[in-house]
């Protein structure tokens, strides 16, 4: 070709669309300008040749990340979270409206959050707005300012500044998001069901699991479907762990209700049967359930009933995980996996004879499409040149002290995982610790 490019990526293997191909990718001004046959010679200022065994993937898109800055930056921050993201092949993430202080429930709070992120981002960062009692009047300003949607809890979130919505509050919030054409994300656990269950008892994981039963998710999801049906709004169920909710979700979609579903690596790779008592690094809400439930989640992924996998990266200081006492009732609930999501899912997918193209669909294209970022999460002409060199055959053992998120606590410590991220590029430029920060703050106005 006589055209000139900034960079050419020469990839004997690349995931393009729904298959692996050999190709050469020409990048100009941060975007993919051409995807050419492998024997094409491009006129480019620099050439990146993938090593033997490496596969070129689009950068992953993680739409469920708790960064916590400002206010609880000692838990996590934009510097450490985006470094971990780049190391894990995640080139775009969307920050949850909690557990920062202030929570992102007003325009002014969003501005504080954006200011904190602006000079620290190693990858692109977008933001969710929060839906809490009494702030529906703030939605329009947040929407206009570029949040990618709104997040609500139906149960105590664990932090006082982000209160839960009751059924009436959810209906009012979804009426407004429907009017705005915005997405409503919901943490689905019913407080009445949880209150009626036995509370968690000390070190027993079985007792903790019983304190957050699957029926709590199922009932809360019913409330979300009712609100979506009544308002015509778009609903998204976050971190689904209960496979018994799938039937009602399937029926609602068949009736025309607009609802999508995500699940997380910990629900697909960890099982309740293998979690020892006192191992509070495994605590999250909703909880990690039994192996049989996990297999039904995988079946739903294969069938397209669950559309995507995101991290729900929710770190905290080790002291809040109560690793010393192992008390599940007192420990903070959250699993940090932003850097590990791709190898976790690839390891589990290999065990089920699934391919990289499916993993890319679940972890890159589908989350990007959820938030209308059609220029992310894919290798295609016009898309941002967010790329990952991934070695699917290499393996490693998880050592928490080598992970880049703020605190060396991991539910995957000591586990051998398959697949290693070798290099990550953001708009054609290297991303990560050794390179200048060139992540951007993205907003609804960039959807294309």
Neighbours of 382 (CB within 10 A): 11
Q: What are phi and psi of 273, to 5 degrees?
A: -60, -25
Q: According to the CATH classification, is domain 59-373+394-417 in 2.60.40.10?
A: no
Query: Mean per-residue pLDDT for 370-381?
Result: 97
Give the predicted TM-score (pTM) of the model: 0.97
- E strands, 162-238, are 183-187, 234-237
Q: pLDDT for 298-325, tens place per residue?
A: 999 999 999 999 999 999 999 999 999 9
The pairing of beta strand 43-49 with beta strand 55-58? unpaired
- Over residues 363-372, mean pLDDT: 98
What does the alpha-carbon distance between residue 430 and residue 437 come to, in Å, rounded to a whole number?
Answer: 10
Mean pLDDT of the chain: 97
Length of the chain counted residue by residue: 448
355: tokens are 């391919």
| Ordered DSSP codes for 93-133 | EEE-S-SSSS-S-SHHHHHHHHHHHHTT-SSEEEE-EE--T
**What pLDDT digit, counting tens, does each position of 184-204 carry?**
999 999 999 999 999 998 999
pLDDT digits (tens, 9 = 90+) for 404-444: 999 999 999 999 999 999 999 999 999 998 667 889 999 98
3-class secondary-structure state, position 254: helix
What residues form DSSP beta bridges with 430? 425
pLDDT at res. 201? 84
């Amino acid at each position: 070709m006589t055209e000139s490019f900034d960079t050419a990526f020469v990839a004997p293997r690349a995931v393009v669309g729904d298959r692996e191909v050999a190709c050469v990718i020409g990048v100009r001004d941060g975007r993919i300008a051409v995807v050419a046959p492998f024997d094409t010679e491009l006129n480019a200022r620099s050439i990146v040749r993938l090593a033997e065994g490496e596969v070129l993937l689009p950068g992953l898109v993680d739409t469920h990340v708790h960064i916590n800055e400002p206010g609880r930056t000692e838990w996590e921050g934009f510097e450490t979270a985006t470094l971990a993201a780049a190391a894990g092949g995640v080139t775009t993430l969307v920050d949850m409206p909690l557990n920062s202080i202030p929570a992102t429930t007003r325009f002014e709070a969003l501005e504080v959050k954006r200011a904190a992120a602006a000079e620290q981002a190693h990858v692109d960062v977008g933001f969710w707005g929060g839906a809490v009692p009494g702030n529906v009047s703030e939605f329009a300003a947040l929407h206009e300012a570029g949040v990618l949607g709104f997040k609500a809890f139906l149960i105590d979130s664990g932090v006082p500044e982000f209160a839960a919505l009751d059924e009436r509050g959810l209906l009012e919030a979804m009426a407004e998001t429907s009017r705005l054409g915005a997405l409503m994300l919901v943490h689905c656990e019913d407080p009445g069901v949880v209150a009626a269950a036995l509370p968690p008892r000390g070190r027993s994981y079985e007792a903790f699991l019983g304190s957050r039963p699957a029926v709590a998710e199922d009932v809360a999801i019913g409330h979300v479907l009712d609100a979506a049906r009544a308002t015509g709004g778009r609903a998204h169920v976050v971190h689904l762990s209960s496979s018994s909710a799938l039937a009602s979700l399937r029926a609602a979609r068949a009736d025309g209700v607009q609802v999508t579903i995500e699940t997380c690596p910990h629900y697909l790779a960890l099982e309740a049967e293998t979690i020892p008592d006192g191992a509070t690094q495994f605590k999250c809400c909703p909880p990690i359930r039994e192996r049989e439930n996990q297999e039904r989640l995988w079946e739903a992924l294969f069938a397209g009933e669950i559309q995507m996998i995101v991290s729900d990266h929710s770190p905290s200081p080790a002291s809040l995980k109560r690793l010393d006492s192992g008390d599940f009732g007192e420990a903070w609930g959250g699993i940090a996996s932003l850097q590990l999501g791709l190898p976790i899912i690839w390891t589990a997918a290999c065990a089920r004879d699934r391919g990289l193209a499916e993993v890319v669909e679940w972890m890159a294209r589908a989350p990007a499409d959820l938030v209308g970022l059609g220029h992310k999460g894919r290798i295609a002409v016009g898309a941002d040149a967010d790329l990952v060199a991934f070695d699917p055959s290499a393996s490693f053992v998880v050592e928490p002290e080598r992970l880049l998120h703020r605190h060396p606590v991991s539910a995957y410590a000591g586990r051998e995982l398959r697949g290693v991220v070798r290099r990550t590029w953001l708009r054609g430029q290297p991303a990560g610790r050794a390179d200048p920060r060139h992540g951007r703050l993205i907003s609804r106005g960039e959807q294309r």
